[in-house]
Amino acid sequence: MGDRFCRFYRFFIQFIQKYYRPLFVAAGLTLAVFCFYRLDVKYVDSWDEARHGVNAYEMIQNGDYIRHTYNYEVDDWNLKPSVSYWGIVLGFRLFGYGVFGLRFISALSYLLTGIGCGLFAKRYGKEASLLVMGFFCANTRPLSAHLARSGDADAPYLLFFTFAMLAMLRIRKNHKNLYACGLLFSLAFLTKSWHAGMIAVIGGLYLLVTRELFAIKAREWGWFLLSVFGPLLFWFGWRYTRDGFAFLDRMIKVDLLARTGGANYEGHEFPFSFYYDTVFGHEAYIYRWLLLICILGIGMGLFVVLRSRIWKRTVLEEGIGYLLWFFIPFFGFSCIRTKLIWYCYPCTVPLFLAAAIFLGYVLQVSIPAKQGYDELRLKSGGAEKGVSSLKNELFWAGKWMAAFLCIFMVGYYMRGAYFEVIRGAHGDGFQLFIQESAERDSSYAGRRAYIMVPTENPENLGTWDQNMLFLAEISGDFHCMDGGVEGYLTETEPAVLYLEQGQYEQYMDRFADVEVLCRNERYLLLGN
């Protein structure tokens, strides 16, 4: 039985080695399915996603790609620079004004992040490379909210953050990676603003601890500073032409100071343990198991080093890099007042890489080339040196457990992510009606639009939620107005009105000269 296990296990590893490329392509296609399949099914979220969509759409309509507007008024609600909006603009240009175009760049960014990490992990082993791809597919939380399948800034930011860290880990080998790290930091800042400061802290500490900071020449520092400040100054100079220092001033006072140190600013203040309780320690996600694997890997690594008294500097430096990459954002965002789930998403990537590296090592270690189980036992000293066959049994049992753990863990959480996030995606009835009721080339497109449909806040009846406004703009190029039925009835310009069937019946006697443009069993679109 042991000999059969040995042969089958050797076949399993050799299969991965021989067919790595098609396996990696298959993993990439699977990740692409998790990113793009049914991407436009889920309802549009009313906060960052809808707001970014409106800002990007109105950039195109205004012909102004540096200043953000919401409902055609200057908008400083998000206080982020422009790169994420440009990504959504690109999605609209490629796929038209729709939910798929809104989310396209986020899905692509997440796909590129996964593929980039998978290729980077190949230097540790082909098994580690494939495991990283599996972990990205099993990444339930970011797939479900505010990242891979959501039209906001977080997925492009994660892409730039991750590639900056990968470049950082290779600075010692080639100092040109320092310039890449600087450029990626700059792009991350232009995407997510002050969140990119974590990249600077991690990179600075890494260069200091590894003493590579003192090996960088003055000319190299010059190119690094140019890679950082060149894009930043270009963006700021362009923005300055619109409103001077006003936007930057609000970025500092609101987006930095108020949200990091303000007392429960916007109602998002939580305990220090928030990120562990809701993400990394939560039983519904894969992360707590990956944390356990990483802890075991660190423990075994320390045991081997202390026992053999042999260690490699490059391994130690990379280990420090991964620890800084995880702990700096984790503790940094845990310390600030405002806490949102997606702030900790960059911490998931080093967890994927470290766990995959350790599991890949366990799968590879001491794999015989051609020996059978009994030959391996004899060669290792099982008969000659008094080593019991129990140790060999435990050795192979451990490897089988590691292989089974990899397959089961990735498969289990991938299945959950697929059925929960992709198959479980559902739309909103009113949002679907907006998209079905208007086309940009219809006779009533471009009119003022009023609404009398309940919003997330019942007190705001007659006003537009952000997601409703976004869909009204991209579907019918409507100019959304508050005021409900009364506002519509007193409107002197051509206009349309969205309302529920019950509201229509209530005001029917006042709609004598109103045309029903579109209706279903619950909602109507009226026009004058």
Question: What local confidence, expressed as pLDDT, does residue 265 receive?
Answer: 64
183, 195, 112, 184: which is closest to 153 by C-alpha? 195
CA geometry: angle at 174 spanning 168 and 176, to 5°? 75
Q: How many helices (H) and strands (E) does the chain have?
A: 23, 7
Contacts of residue 56, Cβ cutoff 8 Å, sequence gap at least 6: 85, 86, 88, 89, 92, 102
The rounded Cα 63 to chain-centroid distance in angstroms is 29
Length of the chain: 528
Residues of the chain with pLDDT under 50: 367-387
Query: Helix 99-121 crosses helix 20-36 at what angle (to 10 degrees)?
Result: 150
Question: What local confidence, expressed as pLDDT, does residue 255 receive?
Answer: 84
CA geometry: angle at 51 spanning 438 and 457, to 5°? 85
Cβ-contact 421, 149 below 8 angstroms:
yes
Question: What local confidence, expressed as pLDDT, does residue 238 receive?
Answer: 96
Give the DSSP letter of residue 338.
B
Question: Token pair for residue 219?
Answer: 């000319």
Handedness of CA 365, 297, 281, 185 (dihedral sign): negative
Question: Token pair for residue 89?
Answer: 């603009």
- How far is Cα 469 from Cα 54, in angstroms, rounded to an integer? 8
Contacts of residue 526, Cβ cutoff 8 Å, sequence gap at least 6: 488, 496, 497, 499, 504, 511, 514, 515, 516, 517
H or E element at residue 518 = strand 515-519
* Alpha-carbon separation of residue 185 from 132, 168, 202, 225, 339 (angstroms): 23, 11, 11, 11, 22
Cβ-contact 394, 358 below 8 angstroms:
no
pLDDT in tens, 104-142: 999 999 999 999 999 999 999 999 999 999 999 999 999
Q: Is 452 exposed, middle or buried (0-12, 13-18, 19+ CB in 10 A)?
A: buried
pLDDT in tens, 241-257: 999 999 999 999 888 88
Q: Among all chains, which residue has been given the structure tokens 């082993």?
A: 125
Question: Token pair for residue 407?
Answer: 């397959």
Helix, strand, coil in percent for the chain, rounding step 5: 70, 5, 25
* Residues pairing with 523 in the sheet: 500
419, 426, 350, 339: which is closest to 135 by C-alpha? 350
Cβ atoms within 10 Å of 309's Cβ, excluding its own: 7
H or E element at residue 448 = strand 448-452
pTM attached to this predicted model: 0.93
pLDDT in tens, 294-336: 998 898 888 877 877 777 788 889 999 999 999 999 999 999 8
Question: Token pair for residue 153?
Answer: 């800034």
Given its phi and psi angles, is residue 136 left (phi above 0), alpha (psi -120 to 50 degrees) or beta? alpha
Question: What local confidence, expressed as pLDDT, does residue 378 receive?
Answer: 44
- How far is Cα 150 from Cα 40, in angstroms, rounded to an integer? 10
Question: Token pair for residue 185?
Answer: 């930091």
- How far is Cα 180 from Cα 199, in angstroms, rounded to an integer? 12
- How far is Cα 393 from Cα 389, in angstroms, rounded to an integer? 6
3-state class (DSSP) for residue 132: helix
Contacts of residue 382, Cβ cutoff 8 Å, sequence gap at least 6: 388, 389, 391, 392
Question: Token pair for residue 239?
Answer: 């923005």
Q: Is 317 exposed, middle or buried (0-12, 13-18, 19+ CB in 10 A)?
A: middle
Question: What local confidence, expressed as pLDDT, does residue 369 receive?
Answer: 44
